[in-house]
Amino acid sequence: MNKPYGKALLLSFIIIVSLCLGGCGLRDQAREVDQLLVVQSMGLDSGPQGVLLSLSSAGGSTPDSPPVRLQSAGESITTALERVRAGANEEELFCAHIGHLLIGEEAARQGIRPALDYVCRSGDLRLSVPLYILRGNTAREAVLGAGDESFGVCDALDSVDADLRSRGDGHTATASDILRDLERYGSALVCAVSLRPSAEEDRSGETPKRPETVVPEGYAVLRDGVLCGWLDRQQAIGVGFLTGNTGVCELTVTDQAGLPVTLTLTGGSCKLEPRWDEVGQLAALEVNVEAQAVLAESKAGDTELDYLQMMLERSLSERVRQVLQMSKQWRADFLGLEGKLERQAPGKMRAMTPGFAACWPSLPLTVSVSAHLTGTGDVEDWP
Amino acid sequence: MKSSDRFTLGQLLALCSVMALTPALRLLPGASAALAGRGGWLSVLLALPAAIAYGAFLWHFGQQRREGESLPALWQRAAGERVGAALLMLCGLWLLFYAGFTLRDSAQRLIDTVYPHADRRLFVLPLGLAAAVAGAGEARRLVRCAKMLLPLLVGAIALTLLFALPELHSDNLLPLAGQDALPVLKGALPTLDVAALILVLLFFLSDRLIGEGRYRSVAGRIALLGTLMAALTAAVIGAFGHELSARLTQPYFSLVRNLVFFHSLERIEALLVALWIFSDFLLTAALLLVVRRCLAPLCGEKPWLGAAIGAPALLIGCLLAPEAAAFERLSSRWIPVANAAVCLLLIPGVYVLGKLRKRL
């Protein structure tokens, strides 16, 4: 065999083998996209069998393609998922695009480690999948019950995620964020959501009704992977300052006449100032918060900004204190204060005996808030 | 000059760079994070001077070669004909085992990331056969193949690192304190282990080039590749934190799985994992080629030798650690230790023996 002929033969062989490597046409492995049921939200609850699994696809652009909702139970997530696969005869489940993982309150109280472990081991789920804990409901109620024919829980959670990106009273944490915080600090914050009637009315049926949707509800606090408490949206504002996730959010205070005034927080920062004793132990912690806000709405025309500023400082101080107090009470450093202090004085923090976790519940704290309030856009500041 | 040696040092360095990606991705992000914590990325950089020094030693050792003398012959001169042949065989057997291990590692990567529950032999056999054919041939074919693949693989890494930037958290990488010094130094060991293996392959493949080229270009390549690996380790630790990075079996591909390109393209990990098959192929083929050279003083330059050494590598690849957990233990504990013993004890031992016997 001469050389050019040999090369042509080799090239032909490579091309034929390459065509087979795609998997199309071999052992019925090819799948049409329209045959796939693209699951986008997964709900997990605890049940008598072990795990109650609920799945939902996104709502389509037309009423002809409503979200598909599925449920199953099993000893583990994997077995429950296999049962759903076996039950979904017409379409093949495609779980690689799961974008939200919801966990029911009861399941979270029993611990979310198995769910996180599943995310780590699964070839389908990504570590960047955002996690939510349903406050007062099961995940199944949200996954199967939220929305109507035109939208499902996926669309509602997409909206929650987009909303919280710019706001300071909530934040979505991914599975990897939660795993990292649990490993590092022993506790973590998870975005809490609840099931509420939607603002829109469903007029697709004969009797108009308001479908349920999922709305942000602050944070769920995990300690050692187990749900230990909740922080509502007002307390979440304090969390935003302490964790550096400040964004736009509303805060209502009262003016001198006792009338409500709505302020919009536009940003801020938090500085931690540790005080060390002579043996190198953390003796006290000063928390200095700075906030910027604008006047959004006032019932009285001549509201005095200095007074409102003072009320804002008082209100923020209260929220920050509450959050810090809860962290101490639950013995859970869900704010990652240890990491923040370590950034300032790594050597001293590492040398602490006992460590930060042990001294945190009894650590004296001082909170000071300095706010800067201005009028809004076209309206001049009041004298 | 043998016809198989018609390539330049630059081309050979391209081959070494591509080959390094297989053990680097297996060990560096996870093992460095486990040993050094958040300073894992610094460990990779700290290993570079030691890797450059080890390369300089091998280069110096290779320069002791006389006119027309092959490197295996240099070993035999240094350690004595019989002892030298025995040590060469020992080194060859280790590299043969490593070739089988590389096949198994390649299969495990595909199973972990794209084909869960698949039979490992499905990947070991075709890759092993292709590598055996290539390993039985001439080195220049591997070198030219690597020259084409290097921009593709480095480009893929650079692109993923660029898109991983928004995922990074500075508090996963810093601060580092004085207490971190020892763990960070310990964390340099996996990098040194990878570098030592690749430099030993460079040592055996370079033959005449050692006499002609300048070591500066080798040192420069080690520094460049090390910096890229440090960036990759920083990306993984920066995204997941050292705690999670140490727990993941394929942390780099987990990071790639998270990436979304321009809000539209995602889940490209299968494509990227497929690219790494080229690196596995070249490493296995180069290992088999070096094994052939190591065994040549014992068996002679037999035409069947190239094909014959592919068979045990395939067998090792198919039979080695069938359980994923057992493979993980082998991969993270025993293989690095055995590799360090061969690269950092056996080979310097031959040189010391040569010096003591005043043959070098």
Using the Cβ of B179 and the Cβ atoms of chain A, whether some distance falls under 8 Å is answered with yes
Six-digit token pair at A48? 């008598």
A94-104 pLDDT, tens digit each: 888 899 999 99
Q: How many CB atoms lie within 10 A of CB A30?
A: 11
Quick check: is A46 in a domain?
yes
Using the Cβ of B8 and the Cβ atoms of chain A, whether some distance falls under 8 Å is answered with no
pLDDT at B1: 43
- Which CATH number fits the domain that encloses residue A269? 3.30.300.210
Nearest residue, CB atoms, B244 vs list A183, A347, A349: A183
Residues 6+ apart with CB under 8 A from A61: none
- Cross-chain Cβ contact B241/A184 below 8 Å: yes
pLDDT at B3: 45
Class of CATH domain B3-353: mainly alpha
Quick check: is A79 in a domain?
yes
Smallest Cα distance from B280 to chain A, Å? 17
pLDDT at A1: 46
Residues A107-131, buried b or exposed e (16+ Cβ, 10 A)? bbeebbebbbebbbebebbbbbbbb
- Cross-chain Cβ contact A343/B171 below 8 Å: yes
- Cα distances (Å, whole numbers) of residue A6 to A1, A3, A12, A13, B49: 6, 5, 10, 11, 47
By residue range, what is the domain housing residue A317?
A: 235-383
**In the 3-class helix/strand/coil scheme, how is chain A assigned residue by residue?**
CCHHHHHHHHHHHHHHHHHHHCCCCCCCCCCCHHHEEEEEEEEEEEECCEEEEEEEECCCCCCCCCCCEEEEEECCHHHHHHHHHHHCCCCEEECCCCCEEEECHHHHHHCCHHHHHHHHHCCCCCCCCEEEEECCCCHHHHHHHCCCCCCCHHHHHHHHHHHHHCECCCCCCEHHHHHHHHHHHCEEEEEEEEEEECCCCECCCCCCECCEEEEEEEEEEEECCEEEEEECHHHHHHHHHHHCCCCEEEEEEECCCCCEEEEEEEEEEEEEEEEECCCCCEEEEEEEEEEEEEEEEECCCCCCHHHHHHHHHHHHHHHHHHHHHHHHHCCCCCCCHHHHHHHHCHHHHHHCCCCHHHHHHHCCEEEEEEEEEECCCCCCCCC
Smallest Cα distance from A206 to chain B, Å? 38
- Claim to verify: residue A84 and residue A197 sit in the same structural domain: yes
Using the Cβ of A180 and the Cβ atoms of chain B, whether some distance falls under 8 Å is answered with yes
A137-146 pLDDT, tens digit each: 999 999 998 8
- Claim to verify: residue A223 and residue A76 sit in the same structural domain: yes
Quick check: is A11 in a domain?
no
Restricting to B residues 321-360, those with a Cβ less than 8 Å away from any Cβ of A are: none
- Claim to verify: residue A85 and residue A151 sit in the same structural domain: yes
- Claim to verify: residue A241 and residue A256 sit in the same structural domain: yes
**Does A191 score more than 90 pLDDT?**
yes
Query: What's chain A's average pLDDT?
Result: 86
Quick check: is A105 in a domain?
yes
- Cross-chain Cβ contact B175/A179 below 8 Å: no
- In angstroms, the first-to-last Cα distance of chain B is 23
Number of domains in chain A: 2
* Site from B171, B179, B267 to mutate, A interface, most A CB atoms within 10 angstroms: B171
- Cross-chain Cβ contact B267/A96 below 8 Å: yes
pLDDT tens over chain B, length 360 residues: 454 467 888 899 999 999 999 999 999 899 999 999 999 999 999 999 999 999 999 999 998 888 888 888 898 999 998 899 999 999 999 999 999 999 999 999 999 888 888 899 999 999 999 999 898 888 888 999 999 999 999 999 999 999 999 999 999 998 998 889 999 999 999 999 999 999 999 999 887 676 666 889 999 999 999 999 999 999 999 999 999 999 999 999 999 999 988 888 888 888 899 999 999 999 999 999 999 988 887 777 776 787 788 999 999 999 999 988 899 999 988 999 999 999 999 999 999 999 998 887
**CA gap B235, B78 in Å, rounded:** 44
Query: Rounded to two decimals, what is the model's pTM?
Result: 0.89
ipTM confidence: 0.85
- Claim to verify: residue A291 and residue A375 sit in the same structural domain: yes
Chain A residue with Cα closest to B173: A343
Using the Cβ of A96 and the Cβ atoms of chain B, whether some distance falls under 8 Å is answered with yes
- Claim to verify: residue A61 and residue A187 sit in the same structural domain: yes
Restricting to A residues 97-156, those with a Cβ less than 8 Å away from any Cβ of B are: 97, 120, 123, 126-128
Q: What's at B288, amino acid-wise?
A: L
Delimit the domains of chain B by residue range.
3-353
* Site from A40, A171, A179, A348 to mutate, B interface, most B CB atoms within 10 angstroms: A179
Share of chain A above pLDDT 90, in %: 54
A148-181 pLDDT, tens digit each: 877 889 989 999 999 898 888 889 999 999 999 9
Quick check: is A205 in a domain?
yes
- Cross-chain Cβ contact B244/A342 below 8 Å: no
Question: A176 to chain B: which residues are within 8 Å by CB?
Answer: 239-241, 244, 258
Q: Phi, psi (5° rounding) for residue B3?
A: -60, -30
- Claim to verify: residue A223 and residue A276 sit in the same structural domain: no
- Which of A170, A196, A231 is the last residue before a domain boundary? A231
Smallest Cα distance from A104 to chain B, Å? 25
Tell me the pLDDT band of A57, cut-offs 50, 70 and 90.
confident
Chain A residue with Cα closest to B123: A21
Question: What's the half-sphere exposure (Cβ side, CA atoms, 13 Å) at A231?
Answer: 32
- Claim to verify: residue A112 and residue A221 sit in the same structural domain: yes
Helices B269-299 and B251-258 cross at an angle (nearest 10°) of 150
Quick check: is A16 in a domain?
no
- Claim to verify: residue A214 and residue A119 sit in the same structural domain: yes
- Which of A231, A256, A280 is the last residue before a domain boundary? A231
Mean pLDDT of A52-61: 82
Beta pairing class for A282-298 and A365-374? parallel
- Which of A231, A253, A277 is the last residue before a domain boundary? A231
Residues 6+ apart with CB under 8 A from A260: A252, A253, A254, A299
- The CA R_g of chain A, rounded to the nearest whole Å, is 26
